[in-house]
A and B are shown apart, each in its own frame.
Chain A
Amino acid sequence: MADFGFNISKPQSIDTNDMDVNRLQALEEKVPSFRSCISCGTCTATCSARQFGSFNIRRIHNLYRWDQRKGLEKEMQKCMLCGKCTLVCPRGVNLRSLIIHIRKALADKK
């Protein structure tokens, strides 16, 4: 392709019309408490992995809600499953179970 000296950027916005709502539904069925999340970020604040790196569990499950799975599989490996997030959640979200199920869902390439 001819070099015009500039690139065309791809749209950066999330197009929610492309998302597969079934994936979120399947996750919510396995971890019903996930529905109660108010995105307060207490989980990220207490997270052991977050203290030493970029891992942000609140952001990850927010992305998962919009079916934005790109790069998440690698990111999820940073969690050590210590479970502190589950202990501090004010809404009783079982985050440890949520993480395990997100990992499983991401491994499923279908």
Chain B
Amino acid sequence: MFKPLEMKEKEKASRSDESPKPREIKRRLKAVKKIRRKKRLEPEEVELPLQVAIIGGGAAGMEAASVLAAHRCPVSLFEARSELAVNVKNKYKIFPDFSDAGQLVQTMVKALDHPLITVHKDTEIVEIIQEPDAYILLDNKGVSHTVPAVLLASGYEPFDAKRKEELGFGIYDGVINSLQLETMLKEHKVVNSLGEEPKRVVFLQCVGSRDEKVGNHYCSKICCVTAVKQAIEVKRQQPDTEVYVFYMDLRLWGQGYEELYRQSQEEYNVHFVRGRISEAASTFDGRIQVKAEDTLLGQPLKMTTDLLVLMIGMEASPGTRKLGKACGLEGPYGFVRSKSVHLEDNLSEQEGFFLAGSCKRPMHIAEAVNDGRSAALEIIKFLRR
């Protein structure tokens, strides 16, 4: 639950705080309403005299910030890292249409260039205190921010494949994760452990997802199509490379995904094998040997490959885990819990505390963007109520 502040701390917090006192917040919101009524203005015609705090400068947080600003609602965007949209930036092309991730980030960053948006990089929110009608956020620099509404958009982090020791990630150079392959594709330099063009590339799905052994029962839902996309990219860059994808089910649920799968088979001759790789080991010549069952044949098989790519899933980011727990909104697997997934997915059980993006569950970029946008509209509804 929210921690009540000791009197002394409260004084200390308010000293470093340039934002209004909690009771001032209510007064200002009322004053805005009064002006609006008197002058018969539309909500967007009156600028809100208060900052909304957005925790997390990823796809959802950035989109929410630009929508709020467009509706004349001042925003403080807090990002713990020194860069915005790191998870998007780490990608090369985005499924299903191979859009450029870098360009996408550029567009999103450009949208933040607005007089009502203040971006605080390298700023981690370490504590959230609930007051009547306001939240006080304490950051890692010792500054506190008093706000009428908070949007939590603290996102996900990629699964650490070292936890699946039997797959040899971090042990053998020929075993990489899907993000590393993304970097290789970006540089047009897909190479094996010896720096040579691989003759064979093997993808393995569901690493860190649907796996009781790492405590994740859920499906990360983007890895299937990501592997199909990456398989195509490998074939485009190196047509002579053989590509195999080991899967349990192929969950190609989104528009255009199934078509991409078919294209990967027909145009690029990507091979799909149903079965989970149980272990990977290095051969004497630095290649990787994997063991799996072809479950369609009911027969075990061995395969040697130059590169084994682990399709890592999504887990709640450290910030999501910490703040979710601190605010009493902890949901399954460390993600945060919304009020209702159907009609109140941007709301939490705490009034004035909103949620957006992959801090709730695995989401792809477009979903996170849309979720940030819808959260912004919920906040506007709340502040101008």
Which residues on B sit within 8 Å (CB–CB) of A32? 266
Number of A-B contacts (CB under 8 A): 47
> What's the Cα separation between A102 and B309 when bound, in Å?
32
Known: A32-B266, A62-B294, A62-B296. A39 touches B274 (CB 8 A): yes
Which residues of B are found within 8 Å of A39, using beta-carbon distances? 274, 296
Interface string of B266-299 (1 = CB under 8 A from A): 1001011010000000000000000100101101
- Residues of B114-149 at the interface with A, using a CB-CB cut-off of 8 Å, are none
- Chain B residue nearest to A41 (CB atoms) is B296
Shortest C-beta distance, B384 to chain A (Å), equals 51
Secondary structure call for the A interface:
helix
A102-B266 Cα distance, complex, nearest whole Å: 19
Q: How far is the CA of A58 from the CA of B274 in the complex (A)?
A: 14
| A36-69 with Cβ < 8 A to chain B | 36-39, 58-59, 62-63, 65-66
Q: Please tell me which one of the listed residues A21, A37, A66 contacts residue B301 in the complex, with CB atoms under 8 A apart.
A: A66
Q: How large is the interface on B (under 10, 10 to 19, 20 to 34, 35 or more residues)?
A: 10 to 19
Q: Determine if A14 and B266 form an interchain contact, defined as CB atoms under 8 angstroms apart.
A: no
* A residues less than 8 Å from B19 (CB atoms): none
Shortest distance between the CB of A83 and any CB in chain B (Å): 22
Cβ of B242 under 8 Å from chain A: yes
Tell me if A14 and B299 are in contact (CB < 8 A).
yes
Contact A59 B262 (CB under 8 A): no
Which single residue of chain A is at the shortest CB-CB distance from B268? Answer: A35
Question: B299 to A17, Cβ gap below 8 A?
Answer: no
Tell me whether A77 is interfacial, beta carbon within 8 Å. Answer: no
A59 to B298, CA, bound (A): 10
Taking the complex as formed, is A15 at the interface, i.e. its CB lies under 8 A from any CB of chain B? yes
Give chain A residues whose Cβ lies under 8 Å from the Cβ of B262: 36, 91
Q: Is B214 an interface residue (CB 8 A)?
A: no
Cβ-defined contact, B302 with A17, below 8 A:
yes
Contact of A63 among B269, B272, B297 (CB under 8 A): B297
CB of B265 within 8 Å of the partner chain: yes
How many chain A residues sit at the interface, stated as a range, is 20 to 34
CA distance A13 to B279 in the complex (A): 15
Distance to closest chain A CB from B119 (angstroms): 47
Residues of B within 8 A of A35 (CB): 265-266, 269
Query: Which residues on the A side are within 8 Å of B301 (C-beta)?
Result: 13-16, 66
Contact in complex: B294, A36 (CB < 8 Å): no
Which of chain B's residues have a CB closer than 8 A to the CB of A21?
242
Determine if A7 is an interface residue (Cβ-Cβ < 8 Å). no
Given the interface contacts A14-B294, A62-B294, A62-B297, does A28 sit within 8 Å of B269 by beta carbon? yes
Contacting residues, chain A, for B302 (C-beta < 8 A): 13-17
Bound CA–CA A19/B299 (angstroms): 15
Contact status B265-A59, CB under 8 Å: no
Answer whether residue A12 sits at the interface, using C-beta atoms and an 8 A cutoff.
Answer: yes
B300 contacts the other chain (CB 8 A)? yes
Chain B residues close to A by CB (< 8 Å): 242, 262, 265-266, 269, 271-272, 274, 291, 294, 296-297, 299-304
